[in-house]
Amino acid sequence: MQQKTRIRSPRIVAILTLSVFAACGGRQAANGGGGGAGGDVLALMNARGLSEQDVTAALKTYTPTGKHDEYYTFASGGHGGNLIVIGVPSMRILKYVGVFSPEPWQGYGYGDESGEVLRQGNRGGQTLTWADMHHPALSETAGDYDGKYIFVNDKCNPRVAVVDLSDFTTQQIVSSELIASEHGATFVTPDTDYVVETSQYPAPLGGVYAPIEQFDEKYRGAMIFWKFDKARGRIVPAESFAIELPPYMQDLADCGKKGSDGWVFCNSINTERAYGGILEGKPPLESGATQNDMDYLHCINWRGAEAIAKAGKTETIAGMRVIRMQTAIDEGLLAFVPEPKSPHGVDVTPDGTGIVVGGKLDTHTTLFDIQKIIAQMRAKQFVGKDPYGVPILDFKSSVFGQCEIGLGPLHTVFDDKGFAYTSVFIETVVAKWSLKDLVVVDKIDTHFNIGHLVSAEGDTVSPDGKYLIAMNKWALDRFAPVGPLLPQNFQLIDISGAKMQLLYDMPLPLGEPHNAQMIKAGKLKPIEVYKPIGTNPYTHDVDPSATVAGKERIERKADGVHVYMTAVRSHFSPDIVRVKQGDTVHLHVTSVEQAKDATHGLAIGGQNINVSLEPGKHCNIVFKVERAGVFPFYCTEFCSALHLEMAGYLLVEPK
């Protein structure tokens, strides 16, 4: 058949193609395969203004009912405080996971034990109900994503959270008062021994006050190494430690891998140590912090630091063991390499030999050679010291080379063919370049103002290539307008061919993602129901108060009224709860369902309570009834034809 349609002119091909496809649409109608809606493809292309390029893009992304996406992308939710799970290539959002912000659909922070997880994140007596999440990090084994956990950070009030990917719930939030803000988090060591969190805006360590005029002397940065217990799925603060750093603005970080395992690299801006003061006659930070042509790439031997911390050469500040800067210098744990102007991205290559740095006021990416850096540090081949005594390596002796990339390079990810992909903010493109030759081979426009970018498994030891997402900060005219606050725009790009092809524009409806990681869908094995019935998601064990069907009861005890309740389609038992004004009520609720997706919710009027009861889950809810009255409670998750009848009454008799 190919021969019959052999083509002499591209123009004719196009016409032929469309005509034939139109005939094909007609056939579908004749056959009843979708009927009149089967459609005339040419008419569709005309009616909807689709180019042939759009047609292939549509077919590369459209995911029919029941077919699953190939990859999950986990994106930070920015100042939405939640984690975004996206299917690739369909670019459909599969879930927002509540992390730092309460989220009532998941019942996260609305009455049950999840509130305890959120309360772990309070700092210095301040209740915190939001976060500025930037850089998610999937747990790794031997430098490859293992699909078990994901870590996320809060830039504003420095915190790190652990999300369990077996049930997509936030299990833990840790925070250290050592630092006052962060940005370079989260990044994991190749076997997830540690989760790295680095300060951004310098402040006196430990949350104390010092006048800003004492910036150079008393303000500091720090890098925290949170110890992760993989078996328990918990960060262990007591086994964690930090390294004190100068009061520059430490920025992003990345851990060495393969031959460079044991090292972590972190860039910095504002080595000028400006701190603003516009009304006081000083330059704004944006100019004060951009005077130097070079800032400092921080090179840190974390494996060495771990040994030093174990040896007790630390000082405890705000509960955190801190390796003082002088100790880090003396022990050879810390050195600087100059990096071009106002660096932002710092990304270790898949083979672990290099680090790519993008200087956002530069026109190059710089590929540093890790082994050269390590060798110079070991040989103490320094060319100077910073004002704090940190040894500085020679720039030229530390690099493999530079690539002329365009104005404003930021972040770099990798594919499986030796190419790097760098987001170029000011030029608003993705630049594809050869790590071997340091030459740009392709560029593609983004819409608009690209920040981070992510490729399939692109920061592991074995990137997949195939897909890349440009995480654009401005959407401008890309989508139907939704008021002055616009979504961000994720653009899916096919990187499987020689030329990059734009496949899809995806608006971000909530939150402002910064970074993301993309993992093969098959690596995740989430549970479908909690087993056995009565499992508490926060202990992964049957709860001592789990209620067995047939044993539902109400017991008045010294500490209040205990209600042992079950939920099943379509009733709660008990469905009438009689208490007195002022009572403390303890609801012990077990979903005795075991069918996938048979989720119930339990909302209680007048109490600001709503919990999500996935099949088999148990939760405990404690509240005090301050007010007399009649308060309906009911199932909030549409569960059956008689869902509306799945209700009861909390009857609060006046005192």
613-642 binders of a second copy (CB under 8 A): 614-617, 626-632, 634, 636-639, 641-642
Q: Which of residues 73-92 bind a second copy (CB under 8 A)?
A: 77-81, 84-85, 87, 91-92
Kind of pairing between the strands at 343-348 and 219-229 = unpaired
- Nearest approach in angstroms of CB 130 to a second copy is 3
According to the binding rule CB under 8 A, does residue 540 interact with a second copy? no
Q: Which of residues 291-350 bind a second copy (CB under 8 A)?
A: 342, 344
- Nearest approach in angstroms of CB 456 to a second copy is 14
Stretch that binds a second copy, among 99-107, 190-198, 396-404, 415-423 (CB under 8 A): 99-107
The DSSP call for residue 530 is -
Residue with tokens 């004492």, as numbered in its chain = 214
- Nearest approach in angstroms of CB 129 to a second copy is 6
Q: CB–CB of 247/212 below 8 Å? A: no
According to the binding rule CB under 8 A, does residue 556 interact with a second copy? no
Q: Which residue, 370 or 502, is less far from a second copy as judged by CB?
A: 502
Residue count, binding to a second copy (CB under 8 A): 222
Q: Which residue, 285 or 587, is less far from a second copy as judged by CB?
A: 285
Q: CB–CB of 428/448 below 8 Å? A: yes
According to the binding rule CB under 8 A, does residue 486 interact with a second copy? yes
Q: Which two tokens stand for residue 229?
A: 């217990």
Contacts of 150 (CB under 8 A, 6+ apart): 74, 83, 136, 137, 138, 139, 163, 165, 517
Q: Which residue, 186 or 200, is less far from a second copy as judged by CB?
A: 200
According to the binding rule CB under 8 A, does residue 548 interact with a second copy? no
- Nearest approach in angstroms of CB 592 to a second copy is 14
Q: Which of residues 408-447 bind a second copy (CB under 8 A)?
A: 408, 425-426, 447
According to the binding rule CB under 8 A, does residue 54 interact with a second copy? yes
Q: CB–CB of 195/188 below 8 Å? A: yes
Stretch that binds a second copy, among 258-266, 269-277, 374-382, 412-420 (CB under 8 A): 269-277
- Nearest approach in angstroms of CB 26 to a second copy is 8
Beta bridge partners of 566: 573, 590
Q: Which residue, 16 or 548, is less far from a second copy as judged by CB?
A: 16
Q: Which of residues 178-217 bind a second copy (CB under 8 A)?
A: 180-181, 183, 200-201, 203-204, 207-212
Q: Which of residues 507-536 bind a second copy (CB under 8 A)?
A: 507, 509-512, 514, 521, 524, 526-530
Stretch that binds a second copy, among 137-145, 274-282, 373-381, 543-551 (CB under 8 A): 274-282
Beta bridge partners of 294: 340
The only residue of 533, 599, 618, 619 in contact with a second copy, by rule CB under 8 A: 599
Name which of 444, 449, 518 is nearest 478 in CA terms.
449
Task: State the SS3 of 320-347.
Answer: EEEECHHHHHHCCCEEEEEEECCEEEEE
Residue 467, classified by CB atoms within 10 Å of its CB into exposed (0-12), middle (13-18) or buried (19+), is: buried
Q: What's the distance, Cα to Cα, between the start and end of the chain in Å? A: 87
Q: Which residue, 330 or 626, is less far from a second copy as judged by CB?
A: 626
Q: CB–CB of 472/451 below 8 Å? A: yes
According to the binding rule CB under 8 A, does residue 289 interact with a second copy? yes
The DSSP string of 206-244 is TS----GGGHHHHEEEEEEEEEEETTTTEE-GGG-EEEE
- Nearest approach in angstroms of CB 301 to a second copy is 27
Name which of 421, 206, 406, 214 is nearest 324 in CA terms.
206
Q: Which residue, 329 or 554, is less far from a second copy as judged by CB?
A: 554
The DSSP string of 276-320 is --GGGTPPPHHHHTT--SEEEEEEEEHHHHHHHHHTT--EEETTE
Kind of pairing between the strands at 647-653 and 576-580 = parallel
Q: Residue 570: phi, psi to the nearest 5?
A: -130, 65
Binding mask 363-402 for a second copy (x = CB under 8 A): ----------------------------------------
The only residue of 185, 506, 546, 587 in contact with a second copy, by rule CB under 8 A: 506
How far apart, in whole angstroms, are the C-alpha atoms of residue 510 and residue 429? 24
Q: Which residue, 379 or 485, is less far from a second copy as judged by CB?
A: 485
- Nearest approach in angstroms of CB 490 to a second copy is 10
According to the binding rule CB under 8 A, does residue 576 interact with a second copy? yes
Q: Which residue, 191 or 272, is less far from a second copy as judged by CB?
A: 272
- Nearest approach in angstroms of CB 537 to a second copy is 9
Q: Which residue, 369 or 552, is less far from a second copy as judged by CB?
A: 552
Q: Strand, helix or coil at 379?
A: helix
Stretch that binds a second copy, among 329-337, 381-389, 415-423, 491-499 (CB under 8 A): 491-499
C-alpha to C-alpha distances, 79 to 74, 122, 351, 425, nearest whole angstrom: 15, 16, 33, 21
Residue with tokens 């940065």, as numbered in its chain = 221
| Alpha carbon of residue 206 to chain centroid | 26
Amino acid of residue 40? D
- Nearest approach in angstroms of CB 640 to a second copy is 8
The only residue of 8, 65, 281, 312 in contact with a second copy, by rule CB under 8 A: 65
Binding mask 111-150 for a second copy (x = CB under 8 A): ------------xxxxxxxxxx------------------
The only residue of 41, 117, 297, 393 in contact with a second copy, by rule CB under 8 A: 41
Q: Which residue, 93 or 587, is less far from a second copy as judged by CB?
A: 93
Check residue 192 and give left, alpha or beta (phi > 0: left; psi -120 to 50: alpha).
left
Contacts of 15 (CB under 8 A, 6+ apart): none
Q: Residue 185: phi, psi to the nearest 5?
A: -160, 150
Q: Strand, helix or coil at 408?
A: coil
- Nearest approach in angstroms of CB 523 to a second copy is 11
Q: Which two tokens stand for residue 132?
A: 């500025």
The only residue of 293, 437, 477, 555 in contact with a second copy, by rule CB under 8 A: 477
Amino acid of residue 359? G
Stretch that binds a second copy, among 44-52, 253-261, 303-311, 345-353 (CB under 8 A): 44-52
Q: Which residue, 236 or 644, is less far from a second copy as judged by CB?
A: 644
According to the binding rule CB under 8 A, does residue 594 interact with a second copy? no
DSSP count for the chain of H helices, then E strands: 9, 46
